[in-house]
Chains A and B, each alone.
Chain A
Amino acid sequence: MKITLGAVSKPYTSLKMKTGDWGTHWPKVDEELCTGCGTCEMFCPDMCIEVVKVGEENGKEIKKAKVNYDYCKGCGICAEVCPTKAIKMELKDIYKVI
């Protein structure tokens, strides 16, 4: 392992620094309800939601929100802003008390 002076890192090093384990909740997208409007993508402070093409219908693209759980911090903003309430914040299994 290399320890750099002043914790200096080159561009893209942060991709290796996964922060998805910080949160206690996951956002789960209900694809039935998601219209692909992109609001969550715009509001996510960690830029870890992307609206991606999942198929085509009558020559029109079908787009849905996809969460990158490697970097999602579980803040819940996406769930809050979604106009169709397509995102539910679920407690991660490791935090569940049985």
Chain B
Amino acid sequence: MVRKVVRGFYAVAHAVKLCRPNVICAYPITPQTEIVENLAAMYANGELENCEYITAESEFGAASILVGASATGARTFTATCSQGLILMSEVLWNAAGMRLPIVMVIANRSLSAPLSIWNDHQDSMAMRDACIMQVYVENNQEAHDMIPQAYKIAENRDVMLPFMVCMDGYKLTHAYEPVDLLDQETVDKFLPPYDPPIKLTTKDPLTFGCYAPPHCYMEFRVVMQRAMERAKKVMEDVFEEWAGLTGRNWGGLIATDHMEDAEVAVVAMGSVVGLVRDVVEEMRKEGKKVGLVKIRSFRPFPVEDLRKALKDVERIVVFERAVSFGHEGPVAMELKSALFGHSDAKVYSFAVGLGGRDIPKQLVRKCIEKSEEIEPGFYFEGVKDFEEVIV
């Protein structure tokens, strides 16, 4: 293991290389591009053995190529975000139904229109229901560490589902951070070669994702839901093994700080967690009973862990990086459905930093403090005064 100051792109690419992928296929999109550029350079330099790097004509093509490759038993990787992810979505629902353990990094970016290349979580949230696992990381070390773990979880026979490692575009992808880079020996010890339970060969033709008439379609959906439920335990085991192997314990499906006696819980996902943690520490020093809940796995959603962690709190403040238009913030929606009948806590959901809007520390603090005075509900914070006009 060697500590180096690297950008998020490289932290991901280096980890992917050590996982010995067989097929990498991608289409460039900001702020993801340099992840696959790094991998393309490694490929060109002969650092990726037994691997094919395919440049596709679109994200739809990239995802389709990986579906085919994964069906033949290849370990596959792609990275995308925003419009690219949305363009992939038709294929990705199929990848999930075909139970293909494709691992992808989503460099989280907002969706058009209006056009924006900056960060929020709207893109991966749009894939919420696709039966694809989603883990949100806080920093580049966690992103680096999640790659081998993602393969191990996705390829587990009890799971067999695609995996999205969601890392904030720019905030993480472009940031230089010191990262303890894994070495080949450690990853080889942790991650065995992919052993597909079934694979497509020219000798033994098969159909993946066949037609299922009404008399059997539902059963396929039941087994997908079961796989997601089983993934919770598999994730916990893999996370624990990782902590033992590397000494870096990122927690379980959630990670908590100061929740033992907290009256107010602050819930967040992704890179904003670091900032929220600073504010929570600050408020703790002032004697305020505030705790932090970092949701790591959004799919499968950690219902049981959240019920346990939040059972005694009075107020829950959620920082949302996306909106489910016509309703509210997607994290609060899920959280409330998990807590229904298990908690009387009031839930305050604050959408912040949409489309790359800055999230100053004071804003985080203001939201937490404001929750004492306002009605529970959904709020946009950090919004300017404006007037709605036609042109």
Contacts and interface: CB of A to CB of B under 8 A. Distances in A.
A10 B206 contact: yes
Contacts of B220: 3, 7
Interface of B: 97-100, 160, 197-198, 205-213, 216, 219-220, 222-223
Given A1-B219, A3-B216, A17-B213, A9 B198 contact: no
Given A1-B216, A1-B219, A6 B198 contact: yes
Given A1-B216, A3-B219, A3-B223, A9 B207 contact: yes
Given A14-B211, A17-B210, A19-B211, A7 B219 contact: no
A76 to B, nearest CB: 21
A5 B199 CA distance: 11
Interface in A1-50: 1, 3, 5-11, 13-14, 17-19
Contact of A8 (B208, B213, B219): B208
B98 to A, nearest CB: 4
Contacts, number: 53
Contacts of A17: 210-213
26 contacts: A1-B216, A1-B219, A3-B219, A3-B220, A3-B222, A5-B99, A5-B197, A5-B223, A6-B99, A6-B208, A7-B208, A7-B209, A7-B210, A7-B220, A8-B98, A8-B198, A8-B206, A8-B208, A10-B207, A11-B205, A11-B207, A14-B207, A14-B211, A17-B211, A17-B212, A18-B213
B276 to A, nearest CB: 39
Chain B binding surface SS class? loop
Interface string A67-79: 0000000000000
A9 B99 contact: no
B210 A13 contact: yes
Interface residues of A, number: 14
B219 A6 contact: no
A6 B36 CA distance: 28
Contacts of A9: 206-207, 210
Contacts of B208: 6-8
A6 B160 contact: yes
B154 to A, nearest CB: 13
B210 A8 contact: yes
A2 to B, nearest CB: 9
A70 B211 CA distance: 15
A8 B207 CA distance: 5
Contacts of A7: 97-98, 208-210, 212, 220
